[in-house]
């Protein structure tokens, strides 16, 4: 059952990422100038920074977010961060480019569909942020490896030495445990034996 879950999660992440990666590679990079012109017509900032209009910087940033976020979610490597990047992209793109409430009457249905599609994708990103990439992801493999090794992230080195000292005498280990138990009032809580 776990193998099937891993395969399905992997295929699902690839399907989700496809729209973002194709948007960057198949549209925004290959049609950079025309996409930048559309951005300018939608009211994106056009102030020049180092001789380049600001909306072109924003387009470059969007491309980076789409590629890094899409690859991150697809591979399940730092998927929560990748999903955050894609969610930020979706918020901006949906508000500026699929504002059906400002569209002309004949364009409103198409823009509403695009708005709802982005809303659903945004919900998917929130789901990944909340739950992680799931089985079959690189994040899941890393977490499983840590659990198999018996270490947990966040354990202090001193605790690892104290708990994992195989060379210590049993009485020494018991004394270490007694010294780390909390005291209540004048009585100390001790382990039996």
More confident residue, 28 or 147: 28
Contacts of 119 (CB under 8 A, 6+ apart): 94
The pLDDT value given to residue 166: 45
Please give the Cα distance from 57 to 44 (Å, whole number).
11
Nearest CA-CA partner of 92 in 23, 32, 44, 48: 44
pLDDT tier at 164, thresholds 50, 70, 90? low
- The residue ranges of DSSP E strands in the chain, in sequence order, are 48-49, 52-53, 183-184, 187-188
Task: State the pTM of this model.
Answer: 0.71
pLDDT tier at 180, thresholds 50, 70, 90? low
Tell me: pLDDT of 176 over 80. Answer: no
- For the chain, how big is the Rg over CA atoms in Å? 26
Please give the Cα distance from 22 to 102 (Å, whole number).
27
- 37 by DSSP, 3-state: which? helix
Please give the Cα distance from 125 to 24 (Å, whole number).
17
Mean pLDDT of 25-39: 89
Please give the Cα distance from 84 to 125 (Å, whole number).
7
More confident residue, 146 or 71: 71
pLDDT tier at 122, thresholds 50, 70, 90? very high
The CA dihedral of 125, 129, 135, 138, to the nearest 10 degrees, is 100
Cβ atoms of 86 and 96 closer than 8 Å: no
Residue 168 φ/ψ, nearest 5 degrees: -75, 150
The pLDDT value given to residue 191: 46
Phi-psi region of 181 (alpha: psi -120 to 50; beta: other; left: phi over 0): beta
The pLDDT value given to residue 37: 85
The pLDDT value given to residue 116: 94
Write down the mean pLDDT value for the chain: 80
Please give the Cα distance from 73 to 128 (Å, whole number).
8
């Amino acid at each position: 059952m776990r193998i099937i879950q891993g395969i399905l999660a992997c295929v699902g992440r690839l399907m989700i990422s496809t729209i973002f990666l194709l948007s960057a590679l198949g549209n925004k990079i290959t049609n950079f100038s025309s996409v930048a012109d559309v951005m300018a017509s939608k009211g994106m900032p056009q102030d020049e920074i180092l001789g380049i209009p600001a909306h072109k910087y924003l387009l470059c940033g969007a491309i980076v977010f789409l590629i890094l976020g899409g690859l991150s979610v697809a591979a399940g490597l730092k998927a929560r961060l990748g999903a955050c990047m894609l969610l930020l992209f979706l918020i901006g793109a949906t508000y500026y480019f699929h504002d059906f409430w400002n569209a002309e009457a004949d364009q409103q249905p198409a823009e509403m569909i695009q708005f709802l599609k982005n809303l659903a994708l945004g919900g998917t990103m929130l789901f990944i942020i909340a739950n992680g990439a799931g089985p079959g992801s690189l994040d899941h493999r890393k977490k499983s490896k840590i659990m198999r090794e018996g270490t947990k992230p966040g354990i202090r080195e001193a605790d690892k030495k104290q708990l994992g000292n195989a060379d210590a005498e049993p009485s020494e280990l018991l004394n270490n445990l007694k010294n780390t138990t909390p005291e209540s009032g004048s009585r100390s809580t001790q382990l039996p034996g």
